[in-house]
A and B are shown apart, each in its own frame.
Chain A
Amino acid sequence: MSLLAYGDTGWGDELFFATLMTIAVALAALLIGFILAAFFSTLKLSKNKILNLIGSFYTTIFRGVPELLVIYLFFFGGSGAVMYVAKIFGYDGYIEVNAFLTGAIAIGIISGAYSTEVFRGAIQSINRGQFEASEVLGFKKKIYYYKIIIPQMLRLALPNISNVWQITLKDTSLISVTGLVEIMRQSYIAAGSTRDPLFFYSFAAILYLFLTFLSMQLFNRLEKNYSKGY
């Protein structure tokens, strides 16, 4: 237990901040994913075939290729792209891109591919009559989407959003390969320096279980709240 002491003697505080980091990356990734999903689900739902194709291209690739490979692409590609730009301006050296940003973007793009499908499914499951009624009442497209379609959509999408969140949360463990100090990386460091991998990886598993349990409770509450009128 002394291994988990808070302060210089143990790993308690390090692991606590690592947990916060995991939550921060996961939230940032989910948000990036939502923004991408809002965009790509509109593409997928549009009547234009080329736009449809672009949308399908995005979801197929990022749901079909391993997360780790995508992370490597952004980890090595990210600094490469920045270095390329820097070279144009005459700077010739190695630049390391912020690990948090690369991680959040990489996981966000993957999470966005799942969210796109969730959003698309939710919009499609809304009765056509709702769209027609909004139009008949003279609402502008922008307004009725925000005031009528999206609130209904959120209720239907919530269980699936919960799934996407769980996937995103677990995927953040893969960012540890880029050196960002989240739960997995911190456990790796602690396991290496104390030579007690069994303890620290078990503890990491408990932390993840705790996070997934907590978010499940939260989503159950949200679901209850959103389905009040039904």
Chain B
Amino acid sequence: MDLMIESFPKLINATKLTIQLTLLSLFFGIFVGIFFAILRTSKNKIFYFISYYYSYIFRGTPLLVQIFLIYFGLAQVEWIRESFLWIFLKEPYSCAILAFTLNTGAYSSEIFRAAFETINRGVVEAAKSLGLNKVNIFFKVKLPIAIKQSLPAYGNEMILMLKGTSLASTVTLLDLTGVAKHIISTTFRPIEVFIVAGSIYLLMTFIIHNFIKFLEKKYDYN
């Protein structure tokens, strides 16, 4: 019990990094996801293949491989070390965000693609006959419908990403899992630390879950 009280402030402090990593990766991931979802629906075969294999590779390999490949692997390439990219890629923080973004982008692109595909043709045709141009149809008609359609699946993806950020601890970052591991390995009392850290994670999952439920209700116009 003492250990639980003692480790609580440390773990709460580390939660900030976990939240930061989750939000930033999700934020960038949405753009990556929408971008590749659009490529996927394009009629150009090259665009289609790029998008298809991007999502296939990032969904078919473990996140740990991706983060190691970016953090350890890219440091080996000389022209990257000499370019301006190195400012970002030498830091574990930005490497982790890059890996998480690309990973969640791959999953989100599949979610958004499915959402775009289920849009009723009639709606698009109606928008066309009302004289809306392509850009307006996309932003004012297609996108809002797609966002609504993809909410439940995207909520799951948000929770998966939250759990995924725990891998940041493998590249020396001290997020919630990283600090929990540190405390466990110095005190050798895993159960107490697991209860505290696990509860914090569960609380965040709970918040995301309810946030999505709230959004679903808000955008439910049937």
Contact = CB atoms under 8 A, between A and B. Distances in A.
Contacts of A80: 188-190
A1 interface: no
A198 interface: yes
Given A208-B60, A212-B60, A69 B194 contact: yes
B62 A208 contact: yes
Given A208-B62, A212-B60, A76 B68 contact: no
Contacts of B64: 173-174, 176, 184
B198 to A, nearest CB: 5
Given A66-B163, A197-B73, A209 B190 contact: no
Interface of B: 56-57, 60-66, 68-69, 72-77, 159, 162-167, 169-170, 177, 180-181, 184-185, 188-191, 194, 197-198, 201-202, 205-206
Interface in A159-199: 170-171, 173-174, 176-177, 184, 187-188, 191, 195-198
Interface stretch (A57-65, A85-93, A136-144, A222-230): A57-65
Given A66-B177, A170-B62, A204-B65, A209 B57 contact: yes
Q: Interface of chain A, helix or strand or loop or mixed?
A: helix
Contacts of A209: 56-57, 60-61
A198 B77 contact: yes
Contacts of A196: 76
Nearest to B64: A173
Given A171-B62, A212-B60, A213-B60, A76 B188 contact: yes
A212 B163 CA distance: 21
Nearest to A174: B64
A69 B197 contact: yes
B173 to A, nearest CB: 12
Nearest to B76: A198
A65 B163 contact: yes
Nearest to B194: A73
B72 A197 contact: yes
A67 interface: yes
